[in-house]
Structure 1
Protein backbone atom coordinates (compact mmCIF):
# COMPACT_ATOMS: atom_id res chain seq x y z
CA UNK A 1 0.00 0.00 0.00
CA UNK A 2 1.37 3.43 -0.89
CA UNK A 3 2.11 6.04 1.74
CA UNK A 4 -0.75 8.19 0.41
CA UNK A 5 -3.26 5.33 0.63
CA UNK A 6 -2.28 4.38 4.18
CA UNK A 7 -3.89 7.39 5.93
CA UNK A 8 -7.04 6.94 3.81
CA UNK A 9 -7.27 3.27 4.87
CA UNK A 10 -6.70 4.17 8.51
CA UNK A 11 -9.28 6.92 8.31
CA UNK A 12 -11.79 4.47 6.82
CA UNK A 13 -11.05 1.98 9.58
CA UNK A 14 -11.60 4.68 12.20
CA UNK A 15 -14.83 5.83 10.57
CA UNK A 16 -16.09 2.25 10.39
CA UNK A 17 -15.15 1.53 14.00
CA UNK A 18 -16.70 4.76 15.30
CA UNK A 19 -19.96 4.79 13.32
CA UNK A 20 -20.91 1.26 12.19
CA UNK A 21 -22.78 0.43 15.39
CA UNK A 22 -24.68 3.71 15.33
CA UNK A 23 -25.67 3.29 11.64
CA UNK A 24 -26.65 -0.33 12.12
CA UNK A 25 -28.82 0.62 15.12
CA UNK A 26 -30.52 3.38 13.14
CA UNK A 27 -31.25 0.96 10.29
CA UNK A 28 -32.43 -1.79 12.67
CA UNK A 29 -34.99 0.57 14.23
CA UNK A 30 -36.41 1.33 10.81
CA UNK A 31 -36.27 -2.18 9.38
CA UNK A 32 -37.06 -4.34 12.39
CA UNK A 33 -34.42 -6.85 11.31
CA UNK A 34 -30.91 -7.01 12.69
CA UNK A 35 -29.68 -9.09 9.74
CA UNK A 36 -31.05 -6.72 7.09
CA UNK A 37 -29.71 -3.74 9.04
CA UNK A 38 -26.25 -5.30 9.21
CA UNK A 39 -26.31 -5.95 5.46
CA UNK A 40 -27.34 -2.39 4.62
CA UNK A 41 -24.79 -0.99 7.04
CA UNK A 42 -22.06 -2.97 5.29
CA UNK A 43 -23.36 -1.83 1.90
CA UNK A 44 -23.25 1.78 3.09
CA UNK A 45 -19.60 1.51 4.04
CA UNK A 46 -18.78 -0.34 0.82
CA UNK A 47 -20.38 2.50 -1.16
CA UNK A 48 -18.25 4.99 0.72
CA UNK A 49 -15.13 2.94 0.13
CA UNK A 50 -15.89 2.63 -3.60
CA UNK A 51 -16.75 6.32 -4.01
CA UNK A 52 -14.37 9.10 -4.87
CA UNK A 53 -15.26 10.84 -1.60
CA UNK A 54 -12.17 11.41 0.52
CA UNK A 55 -13.02 10.18 3.97
CA UNK A 56 -10.70 12.66 5.62
CA UNK A 57 -12.71 15.50 4.01
CA UNK A 58 -16.02 14.47 5.59
CA UNK A 59 -17.13 17.26 7.90
CA UNK A 60 -20.20 15.40 9.16
CA UNK A 61 -19.59 11.67 8.70
CA UNK A 62 -22.87 10.61 10.31
CA UNK A 63 -24.88 12.87 8.03
CA UNK A 64 -23.07 11.44 5.01
CA UNK A 65 -23.55 7.84 6.20
CA UNK A 66 -27.21 8.58 6.96
CA UNK A 67 -27.78 9.95 3.47
CA UNK A 68 -26.24 6.89 1.83
CA UNK A 69 -28.05 4.59 4.28
CA UNK A 70 -31.42 6.22 3.53
CA UNK A 71 -30.90 5.73 -0.21
CA UNK A 72 -30.01 2.09 0.30
CA UNK A 73 -33.01 1.65 2.60
CA UNK A 74 -35.29 3.14 -0.03
CA UNK A 75 -33.81 0.81 -2.66
CA UNK A 76 -34.25 -2.12 -0.29
CA UNK A 77 -37.98 -1.46 0.15
CA UNK A 78 -38.44 -0.77 -3.54
CA UNK A 79 -36.76 -4.08 -4.37
CA UNK A 80 -38.85 -5.91 -1.75
CA UNK A 81 -42.06 -4.40 -3.17
CA UNK A 82 -41.08 -5.45 -6.68
CA UNK A 83 -40.26 -8.95 -5.46
CA UNK A 84 -43.60 -9.23 -3.67
CA UNK A 85 -45.51 -8.10 -6.77
CA UNK A 86 -43.64 -10.71 -8.80
CA UNK A 87 -44.40 -13.45 -6.26
CA UNK A 88 -48.08 -12.46 -6.25
CA UNK A 89 -48.15 -12.71 -10.04
CA UNK A 90 -46.51 -16.14 -9.85
CA UNK A 91 -49.10 -17.32 -7.33
CA UNK A 92 -51.87 -16.64 -9.84
CA UNK A 93 -50.27 -18.82 -12.54
CA UNK A 94 -51.39 -22.39 -13.17
CA UNK A 95 -48.94 -24.87 -11.62
CA UNK A 96 -47.64 -26.12 -14.98
CA UNK A 97 -46.68 -22.54 -15.97
CA UNK A 98 -44.72 -21.67 -12.83
CA UNK A 99 -41.05 -21.14 -13.64
CA UNK A 100 -38.34 -23.13 -11.88
CA UNK A 101 -36.52 -21.52 -8.92
CA UNK A 102 -33.56 -20.74 -11.21
CA UNK A 103 -35.82 -19.10 -13.79
CA UNK A 104 -37.62 -17.15 -11.06
CA UNK A 105 -34.30 -15.86 -9.71
CA UNK A 106 -33.19 -14.78 -13.20
CA UNK A 107 -36.52 -13.10 -13.88
CA UNK A 108 -36.44 -11.28 -10.54
CA UNK A 109 -32.87 -10.11 -11.15
CA UNK A 110 -33.91 -8.86 -14.59
CA UNK A 111 -36.93 -7.03 -13.15
CA UNK A 112 -34.75 -5.38 -10.52
CA UNK A 113 -32.18 -4.33 -13.13
CA UNK A 114 -34.95 -2.90 -15.33
CA UNK A 115 -36.47 -1.07 -12.38
CA UNK A 116 -33.07 0.38 -11.50
CA UNK A 117 -32.43 1.34 -15.12
CA UNK A 118 -35.72 3.23 -15.36
CA UNK A 119 -35.32 4.84 -11.95
CA UNK A 120 -35.42 8.61 -12.26
CA UNK A 121 -37.85 8.74 -15.15
CA UNK A 122 -41.21 10.42 -14.58
CA UNK A 123 -44.01 7.92 -13.89
CA UNK A 124 -45.83 8.55 -17.18
CA UNK A 125 -42.63 8.03 -19.18
CA UNK A 126 -41.90 4.78 -17.34
CA UNK A 127 -45.43 3.51 -17.94
CA UNK A 128 -45.35 4.39 -21.62
CA UNK A 129 -41.99 2.68 -22.06
CA UNK A 130 -43.02 -0.47 -20.17
CA UNK A 131 -46.37 -0.76 -21.95
CA UNK A 132 -44.62 -0.43 -25.27
CA UNK A 133 -41.81 -2.85 -24.51
CA UNK A 134 -43.55 -5.44 -22.33
CA UNK A 135 -47.13 -5.40 -23.55
CA UNK A 136 -46.47 -4.41 -27.15
CA UNK A 137 -48.97 -1.56 -27.09
CA UNK A 138 -48.90 0.93 -29.94
CA UNK A 139 -48.23 4.58 -29.27
CA UNK A 140 -51.90 5.31 -29.96
CA UNK A 141 -53.03 2.73 -27.37
CA UNK A 142 -50.61 4.14 -24.81
CA UNK A 143 -51.79 7.68 -25.56
CA UNK A 144 -55.37 6.60 -24.91
CA UNK A 145 -54.43 4.95 -21.62
CA UNK A 146 -52.53 8.01 -20.41
CA UNK A 147 -55.03 10.46 -21.92
CA UNK A 148 -52.34 12.36 -23.83
CA UNK A 149 -51.52 12.85 -27.50
CA UNK A 150 -49.59 10.35 -29.59
CA UNK A 151 -46.97 13.04 -30.10
CA UNK A 152 -46.48 13.19 -26.32
CA UNK A 153 -45.96 9.42 -26.27
CA UNK A 154 -43.30 9.76 -28.97
CA UNK A 155 -41.58 12.35 -26.80
CA UNK A 156 -41.88 10.04 -23.76
CA UNK A 157 -40.39 7.15 -25.68
CA UNK A 158 -37.50 9.26 -26.93
CA UNK A 159 -36.86 10.39 -23.35
CA UNK A 160 -36.92 6.77 -22.11
CA UNK A 161 -34.56 5.55 -24.84
CA UNK A 162 -32.19 8.43 -24.22
CA UNK A 163 -32.24 7.68 -20.49
CA UNK A 164 -31.43 4.00 -21.12
CA UNK A 165 -28.57 4.90 -23.43
CA UNK A 166 -27.13 7.42 -20.99
CA UNK A 167 -27.30 4.97 -18.08
CA UNK A 168 -25.46 2.35 -20.14
CA UNK A 169 -22.61 4.77 -20.89
Structure 2
Protein backbone atom coordinates (compact mmCIF):
# COMPACT_ATOMS: atom_id res chain seq x y z
CA UNK A 1 0.00 0.00 0.00
CA UNK A 2 1.85 3.10 -1.18
CA UNK A 3 0.48 6.60 -1.06
CA UNK A 4 1.95 10.01 -1.50
CA UNK A 5 1.70 12.69 1.16
CA UNK A 6 -1.60 14.47 1.24
CA UNK A 7 -3.77 11.47 0.38
CA UNK A 8 -6.72 11.16 2.74
CA UNK A 9 -6.56 8.28 5.17
CA UNK A 10 -9.81 7.97 7.08
CA UNK A 11 -9.79 7.71 10.85
CA UNK A 12 -11.90 4.57 10.48
CA UNK A 13 -9.18 2.61 8.68
CA UNK A 14 -10.33 -0.99 8.77
CA UNK A 15 -7.51 -3.19 7.53
CA UNK A 16 -4.44 -3.68 9.72
CA UNK A 17 -2.21 -2.14 7.03
CA UNK A 18 -4.50 0.89 6.77
CA UNK A 19 -4.44 1.32 10.57
CA UNK A 20 -0.62 1.21 10.53
CA UNK A 21 -0.46 3.82 7.78
CA UNK A 22 -3.00 6.04 9.54
CA UNK A 23 -0.93 5.89 12.75
CA UNK A 24 2.24 6.87 10.88
CA UNK A 25 0.43 9.81 9.25
CA UNK A 26 -0.96 10.90 12.64
CA UNK A 27 2.60 10.74 14.03
CA UNK A 28 3.91 12.97 11.22
CA UNK A 29 1.05 15.43 11.73
CA UNK A 30 1.97 15.65 15.42
CA UNK A 31 5.64 16.12 14.49
CA UNK A 32 4.83 18.99 12.13
CA UNK A 33 2.57 20.60 14.72
CA UNK A 34 5.16 20.18 17.51
CA UNK A 35 2.28 18.56 19.42
CA UNK A 36 4.03 16.95 22.40
CA UNK A 37 0.89 15.27 23.77
CA UNK A 38 -0.08 14.04 20.31
CA UNK A 39 3.40 12.62 19.78
CA UNK A 40 3.41 10.82 23.13
CA UNK A 41 0.01 9.33 22.24
CA UNK A 42 1.52 7.71 19.12
CA UNK A 43 4.00 5.59 21.12
CA UNK A 44 4.14 2.93 23.78
CA UNK A 45 5.70 4.44 26.94
CA UNK A 46 8.91 2.43 26.41
CA UNK A 47 9.22 3.07 22.65
CA UNK A 48 12.67 3.50 21.08
CA UNK A 49 13.68 5.59 18.05
CA UNK A 50 17.05 4.53 16.59
CA UNK A 51 19.15 6.79 14.33
CA UNK A 52 22.33 6.44 12.27
CA UNK A 53 25.52 7.55 14.06
CA UNK A 54 26.00 11.24 14.74
CA UNK A 55 22.84 12.34 16.53
CA UNK A 56 23.55 13.35 20.14
CA UNK A 57 21.56 11.43 22.76
CA UNK A 58 20.43 8.77 20.26
CA UNK A 59 18.69 6.46 20.50
CA UNK A 60 15.70 8.24 21.97
CA UNK A 61 14.19 5.94 24.60
CA UNK A 62 10.59 6.57 25.71
CA UNK A 63 7.56 8.26 24.21
CA UNK A 64 8.42 11.44 26.12
CA UNK A 65 12.02 11.53 24.87
CA UNK A 66 10.86 11.06 21.27
CA UNK A 67 8.26 13.81 21.64
CA UNK A 68 10.74 16.19 23.26
CA UNK A 69 13.28 15.54 20.51
CA UNK A 70 10.90 16.38 17.69
CA UNK A 71 9.42 19.42 19.44
CA UNK A 72 12.98 20.72 19.91
CA UNK A 73 13.70 20.15 16.20
CA UNK A 74 10.61 22.11 15.13
CA UNK A 75 11.37 25.01 17.46
CA UNK A 76 15.14 25.10 16.87
CA UNK A 77 15.70 23.86 13.32
CA UNK A 78 12.35 24.80 11.77
CA UNK A 79 11.82 21.10 11.07
CA UNK A 80 8.96 19.97 8.86
CA UNK A 81 8.46 16.48 7.48
CA UNK A 82 6.76 14.96 4.48
CA UNK A 83 5.95 11.32 3.84
CA UNK A 84 6.89 10.27 0.34
CA UNK A 85 5.95 6.56 0.33
CA UNK A 86 4.38 4.08 2.77
CA UNK A 87 4.45 0.30 2.62
CA UNK A 88 2.65 -1.48 5.46
CA UNK A 89 2.58 -5.23 6.00
CA UNK A 90 -0.79 -6.91 5.58
CA UNK A 91 -0.93 -7.77 9.29
CA UNK A 92 -0.18 -4.13 10.21
CA UNK A 93 2.59 -4.95 12.67
CA UNK A 94 5.44 -3.53 10.57
CA UNK A 95 5.77 -0.79 7.96
CA UNK A 96 8.45 1.10 6.10
CA UNK A 97 8.29 4.64 4.78
CA UNK A 98 10.36 7.13 2.81
CA UNK A 99 10.39 10.67 4.22
CA UNK A 100 11.90 14.09 3.75
CA UNK A 101 13.04 16.16 6.76
CA UNK A 102 13.07 19.88 5.94
CA UNK A 103 15.23 21.88 8.37
CA UNK A 104 13.98 25.28 7.23
CA UNK A 105 15.86 27.41 9.79
CA UNK A 106 19.24 26.00 8.78
CA UNK A 107 18.47 25.53 5.07
CA UNK A 108 19.05 21.75 5.01
CA UNK A 109 17.11 18.83 3.62
CA UNK A 110 17.56 15.19 4.63
CA UNK A 111 15.89 12.20 2.97
CA UNK A 112 15.63 8.70 4.35
CA UNK A 113 13.62 5.64 5.32
CA UNK A 114 12.19 4.35 8.58
CA UNK A 115 11.16 0.89 9.68
CA UNK A 116 8.22 0.81 12.14
CA UNK A 117 7.09 -1.85 14.59
CA UNK A 118 3.63 -1.50 16.17
CA UNK A 119 1.91 -2.96 19.22
CA UNK A 120 -0.56 -5.84 18.84
CA UNK A 121 -3.66 -3.71 18.23
CA UNK A 122 -1.78 -1.24 15.97
CA UNK A 123 -2.57 1.76 18.17
CA UNK A 124 0.99 2.66 19.21
CA UNK A 125 4.49 2.60 17.77
CA UNK A 126 6.96 0.41 19.66
CA UNK A 127 10.09 1.07 17.61
CA UNK A 128 11.40 3.18 14.73
CA UNK A 129 14.69 2.54 12.96
CA UNK A 130 15.78 5.47 10.79
CA UNK A 131 18.13 5.16 7.81
CA UNK A 132 19.42 8.19 5.93
CA UNK A 133 19.55 8.25 2.12
CA UNK A 134 23.16 9.32 2.40
CA UNK A 135 25.59 10.30 5.11
CA UNK A 136 24.78 13.78 6.38
CA UNK A 137 27.12 16.25 4.74
CA UNK A 138 26.78 19.68 6.34
CA UNK A 139 28.38 21.24 3.23
CA UNK A 140 25.37 20.15 1.13
CA UNK A 141 22.08 21.96 1.54
CA UNK A 142 20.17 18.87 0.34
CA UNK A 143 21.29 15.39 1.43
CA UNK A 144 19.77 12.80 -0.88
CA UNK A 145 20.61 9.90 -3.19
CA UNK A 146 23.05 10.89 -5.90
CA UNK A 147 21.41 10.88 -9.34
CA UNK A 148 17.92 9.94 -8.12
CA UNK A 149 15.17 11.90 -9.94
CA UNK A 150 13.18 13.13 -6.94
CA UNK A 151 11.16 15.62 -9.03
CA UNK A 152 10.46 13.10 -11.77
CA UNK A 153 9.22 10.55 -9.23
CA UNK A 154 6.84 13.06 -7.61
CA UNK A 155 8.74 13.68 -4.39
CA UNK A 156 8.24 16.94 -2.51
CA UNK A 157 10.74 19.62 -3.47
CA UNK A 158 9.59 22.19 -0.89
CA UNK A 159 8.64 21.85 2.78
CA UNK A 160 5.02 22.01 3.89
CA UNK A 161 3.81 25.37 5.08
CA UNK A 162 3.37 25.52 8.87
CA UNK A 163 -0.17 26.01 10.12
CA UNK A 164 -0.27 29.39 11.79
CA UNK A 165 -2.96 29.96 14.37
Q: TM-score scaled to structure 1, two decimals?
A: 0.25
Q: Name the structure where helix makes up a greater proportion of residues.
A: 1
Q: Name the structure where strand makes up a greater proportion of residues.
A: 2
Q: TM-score scaled to structure 2, two decimals?
A: 0.26
